[in-house]
Amino acid sequence: DTAVSQTPKYLVTQMGNDKSIKCEQNLGHDTMYWYKQDSKKFLKIMFSYNNKELIINETVPNRFSPKSPDKAHLNLHINSLELGDSAVYFCASSQDPRGSRADTQYFGPGTRLTVL
């Protein structure tokens, strides 16, 4: 059984389009995250939700909007895609964001977004 799953795995689209990436976790975790990994493999937090509530909102363009319909799902919608948005986007989940061993984050397989 897949613990953290993302769809799609690959996404190729034109500049200016709007696209969504979906994430689901079946670990029973309370917290979910979105990370962006650029071409230099640098992994950076974008957003974090705890029980459907936004708790981390990094300085990302407001073209990026996360949505959490329930604590097992965290989707990422991107408007007006730009060339610089090309990257691998990872979803992750953890049990407790407040600083304990339980906060180990488990990552999904990633979505490779290519904007042409």
Partner 1 sequence: GQNIDQPTEMTATEGAIVQINCTYQTSGFNGLFWYQQHAGEAPTFLSYNVLDGLEEKGRFSSFLSRSKGYSYLLLKELQMKDSASYLCAVRDRNTDKLIFGTGTRLQVFP
* 90 binds partner 1 per the rule CB under 8 A: yes
Distance (Å, rounded) from C-alpha 41 to C-alpha 57? 21
Does 8 engage in binding with partner 1 (CB under 8 A)?
no
Figure out which of the listed residues 7, 56, 65, 73 binds partner 1, where binding follows CB under 8 A: 56
Work out the burial of residue 34: count CB atoms within 10 Å of its CB; fewer than 13 is exposed, 13-18 middle, 19 or more buried: buried
CA distance 56 to 21: 19
Which of 42, 54, 79, 80 touches partner 1 (CB under 8 A)?
Answer: 42
Residues at the site binding partner 1, with contacts judged by CB under 8 A: 4, 40-45, 48, 55-56, 90, 97-99, 101, 103-110
